[in-house]
Amino acid sequence: MTKDLIGILNKVKEKISDNSDMVWTNYASAKAFREELQGYIDELEENNISSLETLQHLFLPTATLQEHSISNGWSDEYMKLSDEFDQLYSAMKNHG
């Protein structure tokens, strides 16, 4: 499951380009956002799921990731990734 979650985060990270509109996010720059996501990926690669709740907040409706996807033209893909995340989150919470 962790591997699948890492895959979702990598897909999201690829969508955050240097010229992304960051107005509706809490991040000063796309680079800062990507670096934070990479930190979560690094933790997950070490089977550390302590950031799972933080990630869940990023994927909430009208939260940072959805706002970024809308203002940068990838909301359809975001919705699919968000659904995948929700399923994994639920499975991980019930498993752990």
Q: How far is CA 71 from CA 32, 39, 49, 86, in A?
A: 18, 24, 29, 22
Domain boundaries of the chain, sorted by first residue:
2-95
pLDDT given for residue 68 in this prediction: 93
Each of the 96 residues of the chain gets a pLDDT tens digit; together they read 899 999 999 999 999 999 998 887 888 899 999 999 999 999 999 999 999 999 999 999 989 899 999 999 999 999 999 999 999 999 998 875
State the number of CA atoms in the 13 A half-sphere of 17 facing the CB. Answer: 7
Tokens representing 94 are 């019930």
pLDDT given for residue 96 in this prediction: 58
* Cα of 34 vs its chain's centroid, Å: 10
pLDDT given for residue 9 in this prediction: 98
Task: State the Cα–Cα distance between residues 59 and 6, nearest whole angstrom.
Answer: 14
